[in-house]
A and B are shown apart, each in its own frame.
Chain A
Amino acid sequence: MTSRFREQLEEALFPPFVALLVALICGDLLIMSYGQPPATVYKLLLEGTWGNAYGFGQVLYKATTLTFTGLAVSLGIRAGLFNVGAESQLAAGGFLAALVGLGLSPSVPTVVGIPLCMIAAALGGGIVGAIPAFLRVKFGAHEVIVTIMLNFVVLAFLNWMIATHLHVPETLHTPDIHTGAIPRLSSIFPAFHGSAANFTILIALLAAFAVWFLLFRTRRGYELRAVGLQPDAAEYGGVNVRGVWFRALTWSGAVAGLGGINYVLGYKHYYEDGFAGGSGFLGIAVALVGRNHPLGVVLAALFFATLSQGGLAIHAFVPKQMVEVLQGVVIIAVAMSVPEVRAALRSARRPAAA
């Protein structure tokens, strides 16, 4: 293994390792405060998630949405931009997919229906992502605050649309979507019976591959990463920095929007107000722990999904709220370790005198 590869590996793996360690220690403390033995609880957590088909299916389901939002955030970060709006982009994507799905006549074949809905989902998220993109490029408005504010605006708007026009009475969701519905895993793998896992997983993996390919194998990806690492050098290299910013943030929104199909087309077959449920914000954590690399994002998504589902599995022993505490602690711990690791590795990497 060349030394450069090893150093990159170190910088990439250390923070997630810290995450795991911190999660374990913190988990121990919380579990013990409930008078329970940690080892038993952890065993139960693993059994309830990776140990049985239903639990594993739930993990896969949750990880799918998180993969999309994690990819979205990491794409933005690679270009030097912070997209905090994945939550509303996810919702907008699901919404538009639902509209298209409802609008399509039942005679449209699934092979056409699903891709159409997917495009709609990406479009929904992309439109929401284009707003901060435009404001950043044109006015220099910082995307962090704009996306945070826009989250509220978009979610309120979607809530209004549902509550006043599109909802099935007594609920806050649209009517069922038939064209464009994505089958559950359980339709092919009966072991997954009852879980929400559906074939959106494949789309998520494809998306991860696509983002990886774009970032590391194309000219545009080369330029995007250059802008994120050293915009002055990118400019020198003939890159249109503002153009890259605009496209990165818009595509980031589109990827997050695409994630909406997991719930809307794959699980419930309708759009429900509030379905995003924090997955957009967790996407930030996923990107962070996954070190903004598509493979890391997939693994980090699995990690957080396991925590989330695991919380339900151990509910009899420790309240599932423990998982939420762990989430917050892990994020802070990893955020703290990243600059330290980078600084330590940098001083260790000083070039030898020529």
Chain B
Amino acid sequence: MESRQVYMDHGATTPVREEALEAMLPFYKELYGNPSSVHAKGREVRSAFEEAREKVARALGASAEEIYFTSGGTESNNISLRGAAKKHGPSGHIITSSVEHHAVLDVCHDLEKDGYRVTYLPVDRDGLIDPQAVEDSITPDTFIISIMAANNEIGTIQPIPEIGQIADRHNLLFHTDAVQVVGQLPVDVNEMKVDLLSLSAHKFNGPKGVGALYKRKGVKLNPLYKGGGQEGKLRPGTENVPGVIGLVRALELSVEDIPEKTEKLEFLRDKLIKGLLEIDDVILNGHREKRLPGNINVSFKYIEGESILLSLDMHGIAASSGSACSSGSLEPSHVLSAIGLDHHAAHGSIRFTLGRGSSEGDIDYVLSKIPTVVENLRRISPMGKAK
């Protein structure tokens, strides 16, 4: 098969789609006004900006005054968790999961140092959180629950509406990091019963460095920064207008595309999973069905992830790994450890994430290259059957 470039790391980031870029450009050129300015140059930008807020709200089933633009998922998570903690008081209890993204997990670790208590709920072998466990861990001083909508590494989709119901019943704040879900699957903040939801534009073919936070009306957070009055003082600072315009255009279009894209990606995903599992000693990580349409995560026994990535890269294939050697730390992914993988299986994990540009030709190409890659590395390995 002819050599080609195959990008299968859409979970890391996606290319900006043409329509989003086109929409942004005028806001770098003639529409340069500061939306806070009183004059015409500012006013024309303000009206486009507020229209953008309306559209984000519509895409999430929210209302415009509940949308706050931020620099991305990490900032939205920080504003939610730290903001809720500071509002609540000097101590209190937070419930989250052991498979959250570092943008939630490390914030929680930090809040522990500040005197808050945090429960990190375990997950089952598929990466699922048990809603009953959420309810059982509620204590009188619990003030917020934060559970991701779907996992970035293994793609497992969490039972958010069920957990939302529990939070509602106990009158607790419920935050979800939906960075991997918005633009990929239908999102409705009322069906999900969330009070706070984080999203990031570059995961759905929008620009990097821009995201949003949905904050339900009436929910009070202490702002992390002081500055001007922008974004209801929750996130002061001159607005990233071109970024927000790009976010909105990309969001509108990806939400429109969801039915068609889901069908296509699920077909491609299942074909790739099936092909990969035909190789000896390969295991699928994450839930078989409750899984993001574009996520494939497998462990190749007896070989290490970074070396697999490197070999794939030689063939023009871009993927990612939960191995320690690819992260720069000495520990393998906390998510793979949480689903019970031993160190070696975690080190041998590879994540392929598909996106709107992915094609069946890409899948066939990967499946044509990977058996040899795995065989060559196993030939070098002292472990298992390779010996």
Indicate whether A and B interact: no
Q: Which chain A residues have a beta carbon within 8 Å of chain B's beta carbons? A: none
B residues whose Cβ falls under 8 Å from a Cβ of A: none
